[in-house]
C-alpha cells in the first residue's frame, strides 16, 4: 500500500472481531468506518465466557491460531498485569463421574502437542489453584496453567479509546447493514435508513448474523450457532482465579468481585420470541447459580445480577471462517466460535490481508470458499 493512497475500510460489527480489526487497520494508516447494529459489544461479545485457551483436541491449524491468540493476550497482559479485566489464572476442567479415562486421554493428548496440562487428583487441586471446592470433583481434573480470561466489553472499551484517538469513524445503532456491490466488487455499505458509506474493502464481522449478511451476495456459509446465556452474579467473596469448566457449570472470575457463569444444559429452556428477544425461567438462572456455588470453596450463595441471551456464533463445521469472499472481491468475513481467544490475532491477520492483499498462511484452511 503506497502512502499516497489511504485505504477506506468499512467494518460491520461492534464486537471484538470488528473492533480489533478496525484498530489494527487504523494503526497501519487506513481510514475506517465501524458500523454497529445497536451498541458496541451488544451481541455475543457482551455475553461470552471468553476463556482464553486451546484446550482439548481440534485441527492443527486451529490449535496453532488459538495458541497465537493467547500469546497476543499475554503480550497485552504484560503491559499492565493489574488490569482487572484480563487475567491469567489458568483453566480447570473435569468430567462427570465414570469419565476418568476420558479425562486421562485428554490430558495425554494435550501433553503430546506441548500444551501445558496437569492431571490432578481432587486433593491436589488446592495446592495448584485457589478457591475451588474439591469435593465437587468426582475423580480427576486437568489444570492448564497457561490459560486465562478476558472481559470482552472492557477490552472493547479499551480498544475503542485507541480507535477514536486514531481517527476512526463510529456509526452506532445503524440497524441491519448490507454490503453494496458494483461490477461484482464490494464498494461499501448501506444502512437500513439508506445512508451509504463508500469503501475500498468491507469486513463483515456480525457474529451469528454473518451468514445472513453475506447471503444476498450469493455466498452460503453454514450456520451452527446455538442459543446461549451468560449470567453475571452480584459481588461475592471468593478466591477463584481459574476458569472452571465442569459438567453442570462453567465459571470464571469477572471484574468487581463478580463471577460469570454459563453452560449448555438449559438451551432447550430458552424461548425465542417473534420480536427476536429471548427469555428463560428465573428458576433456571438460579439453578445455574446454585450449580456454580457447589464448585466454589465455602459454597457461597450466588445471586444472579444480570443475564444475557442470544446466539453463540459457531460456523456450521465448527472451524473459523476468515478472509475474502471469492465471489465478491473486496468483501471479507470474520466468523468464529472462539471470538475471544482469536480476537486480537484475527484482527491483526485480517487487517494485514485487507491492506496488502497477501493471504496469511495461518488462515489458509479457514477460507469462506471451502463451503462453495
Boundary of a domain, candidates 311, 329, 351: 311
Q: How far apart are CA 201 and CA 193, in angstroms?
A: 21
Place of cell 458509506: 197
Does one domain contain both 322 and 302? no
Does one domain contain both 125 and 260? yes
pLDDT for residue 125 is more than 90: yes
Q: What would the pLDDT profile of 346-355 be if each residue is shown by its tens digit?
A: 999 999 999 9
Backbone angles phi, psi at 11, to 5 degrees: -115, 125
Whether residue 77 lies inside any domain: the answer is no
Domain span holding position 183: 8-46+153-223+316-371
List the grid coordinates of 131: 478457591
Q: What is the CA radius of gyration of the chain?
A: 21
Whether residue 66 lies inside any domain: the answer is no
List the grid coordinates of 62: 486451529
Are 323 and 353 within 8 A, CB to CB? Answer: yes
Does one domain contain both 142 and 199? no
Residue 5 pLDDT level (bands cut at 50, 70, 90): confident
For residues 297-331, one letter each, b for 16 or more C-beta atoms within 10 angstroms of the residue's C-beta and e for the rest, the string is beeeebebeebbbbbbbbbeeebbbbbbbebbebb
CA distances from 348 to 40, 73, 351, 355 (A): 20, 12, 5, 11
* Domain CATH code at residue 326: 3.50.50.60
List the grid coordinates of 10: 468499512
Are 295 and 137 within 8 A, CB to CB? Answer: no
Q: What angle do CA 320, 77, 51 make, to 5 degrees?
A: 40
Q: How far apart are CA 326 and CA 320, in angstroms?
A: 16
SS3 325: coil
pLDDT for residue 328 is more than 60: yes
Q: How far apart are CA 129 and CA 88, in angstroms?
A: 12
Q: In this predicted structure, what is the pLDDT of residue 1?
A: 45
DSSP code string of 24-69? HHHHTT-EEEEE-SSSTT-SGGGG---EE---S---HHHHHHHHHH
Does one domain contain both 281 and 235? yes
Does one domain contain both 321 and 174? yes
Whether residue 76 lies inside any domain: the answer is no
pLDDT for residue 53 is more than 80: yes
Does one domain contain both 40 and 28? yes
- Which residues pair with residue 257 across a beta bridge? none
Question: In total, how many domains does the chain have?
Answer: 2
DSSP code string of 204-221? E--GGGHHHHHGGGT---
DSSP code string of 239-292? ---SEEE-SS-EEEEETTTEEEEE-STTGGG-EE-TTS-EE--HHHHHHHHHHH
Q: In this predicted structure, what is the pLDDT of residue 372?
A: 86
Are 221 and 29 within 8 A, CB to CB? Answer: no
Q: What would the pLDDT profile of 283-305 be if each residue is shown by its tens digit?
A: 999 999 999 999 999 999 999 99
Boundary of a domain, candidates 311, 326, 344: 311
Whether residue 69 lies inside any domain: the answer is no
Boundary of a domain, candidates 289, 311, 333: 311
Mean pLDDT of 83-96: 98
Does one domain contain both 138 and 39? no
Query: How distant is the alpha carbon of residue 178 from its chain centre?
Result: 23
Mean pLDDT of 325-334: 98
Whether residue 64 lies inside any domain: the answer is no
* Domain CATH code at residue 288: 3.30.9.10
Does one domain contain both 167 and 123? no
pLDDT for residue 370 is more than 70: yes
Does one domain contain both 261 and 144? yes
Mean pLDDT of 240-266: 98
Does one domain contain both 208 and 239? no
Residue 2 pLDDT level (bands cut at 50, 70, 90): very low
Amino acid at each position: 500500500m503506497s502512502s499516497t493512497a489511504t485505504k477506506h475500510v468499512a467494518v460491520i460489527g461492534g464486537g471484538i472481531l470488528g473492533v480489533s480489526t478496525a484498530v489494527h487497520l487504523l494503526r497501519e494508516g487506513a481510514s475506517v468506518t465501524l458500523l454497529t447494529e445497536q451498541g458496541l459489544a451488544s451481541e455475543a461479545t457482551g455475553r461470552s465466557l471468553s476463556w482464553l485457551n486451546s484446550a482439548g483436541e481440534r485441527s492443527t491449524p486451529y490449535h496453532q491460531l488459538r495458541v497465537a491468540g493467547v500469546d497476543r493476550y499475554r503480550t497485552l497482559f504484560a503491559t499492565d498485569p493489574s488490569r482487572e479485566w484480563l487475567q491469567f489464572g489458568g483453566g480447570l476442567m473435569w468430567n462427570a463421574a465414570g469419565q476418568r479415562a476420558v479425562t486421562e486421554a485428554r490430558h495425554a493428548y494435550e501433553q503430546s502437542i506441548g500444551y501445558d496440562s496437569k492431571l490432578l487428583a481432587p486433593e491436589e487441586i488446592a495446592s495448584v489453584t485457589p478457591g475451588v471446592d474439591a469435593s465437587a470433583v468426582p475423580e480427576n481434573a486437568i489444570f492448564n496453567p497457561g490459560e486465562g480470561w478476558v472481559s470482552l466489553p472492557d477490552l472493547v472499551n479499551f480498544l475503542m479509546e485507541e480507535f477514536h484517538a486514531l481517527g476512526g469513524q463510529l456509526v452506532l445503532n445503524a440497524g441491519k447493514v448490507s454490503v453494496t456491490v458494483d461490477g461484482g466488487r464490494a464498494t461499501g455499505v448501506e444502512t437500513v435508513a439508506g445512508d451509504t458509506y463508500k469503501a475500498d474493502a468491507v469486513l463483515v464481522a456480525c457474529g451469528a448474523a454473518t451468514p445472513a449478511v453475506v447471503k444476498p451476495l450469493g455466498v452460503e456459509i453454514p450456520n451452527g450457532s446455538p442459543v446461549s446465556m451468560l449470567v453475571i452474579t452480584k459481588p461475592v467473596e471468593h478466591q477463584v482465579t481459574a476458569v472452571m469448566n465442569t459438567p453442570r457449570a462453567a465459571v470464571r472470575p469477572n471484574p468487581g468481585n463478580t463471577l460469570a457463569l454459563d453452560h449448555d444444559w438449559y438451551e432447550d429452556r430458552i424461548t425465542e420470541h417473534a420480536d427476536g428477544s429471548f427469555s428463560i425461567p428465573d428458576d433456571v438462572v438460579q439453578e445455574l447459580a446454585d450449580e456454580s456455588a457447589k464448585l466454589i470453596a465455602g459454597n457461597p450463595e450466588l445471586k444472579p445480577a444480570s443475564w444475557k441471551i442470544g446466539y453463540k456464533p459457531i460456523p456450521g463445521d465448527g472451524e473459523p471462517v476468515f478472509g475474502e469472499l471469492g465471489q465478491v472481491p473486496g468483501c471479507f468475513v470474520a466468523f468464529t466460535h472462539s471470538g475471544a481467544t482469536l480476537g486480537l490475532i484475527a484482527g491483526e491477520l485480517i487487517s494485514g490481508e485487507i491492506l496488502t492483499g497477501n493471504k496469511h498462511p495461518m488462515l489458509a484452511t479457514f477460507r469462506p470458499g471451502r463451503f462453495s
